[in-house]
Chain A
């Protein structure tokens, strides 16, 4: 993503310069689209989120105080639009994350022996299948986990950036991310442990 200098860029957006609008789309539409696709899965829904987000960015740019990075402010708007959209879609296929957390005895030891299937991913066909399974299972996560996982592990944002964009604390992002990864690991484990 192209880096934009926040202060100058914000002034140009306030002035509604066409070149600034183009720069806004060039700099942020990919990231917003990717995030929205990760949450919503449908291209048309993701496109709507990009359009609604960028429109609101320009319409509300005068309220941007510069306390957070402009990108975080934009992602927060995009997350809100994605949530609004998902509320309209009836979903009943979430899997409770608790069912996939590791189980321990009272003394803190594993309840069951853990099998190591990591090397199976050395086979390229299995690796591709595993990636598809991960993608399928990301969709089974509730949004609060999905947003963090997509931003951190797929989009490669830092934990601090995710925290700023979601309005969460860094420890809360870490905890949610860890639980989302534990969920995905367990979904793969159930498939490949044999």
Chain B
């Protein structure tokens, strides 16, 4: 497995969607290649940090306004 192939397969590895043969090759390559190990760990960290970005909740007053808007718009026809 080349470094370029490994980078293409990172997501499949993280999602557990890699067949066992490739998985073994992937892990052996990472053990031997410090650049791929660094790339893998920083990719994983980027994904983890992105997942920590909190969802913005819609303000409750906006929700109420939209409910009233829909009812007035759709029941007046």
**Interface size bucket, A side?**
35 or more
* Count of chain B residues near A, Cβ 8 A: 43
- Interface SS of chain A: helix, strand, loop or mixed? helix
* A134–chain B nearest beta-carbon distance, Å: 5
Known: A16-B75, A110-B3, A116-B37. A182 touches B69 (CB 8 A): no
- Choice from A18, A34, A51, A121 contacting B71 with Cβ under 8 Å: A18
What number of residue pairs across chains A and B have CB atoms under 8 A from each other?
135
Interface: A2 (CB within 8 A): no
Give A117's nearest chain B residue, CB to CB.
B42
B residues with a Cβ closer than 8 A to A are 2-5, 7-8, 10-12, 15, 34-39, 41-53, 55-58, 62-63, 66-67, 69-71, 73-75
The 9 closest A-B pairs by CB, nearest first: A108-B2, A116-B38, A33-B58, A114-B35, A108-B4, A118-B45, A118-B41, A114-B38, A185-B46
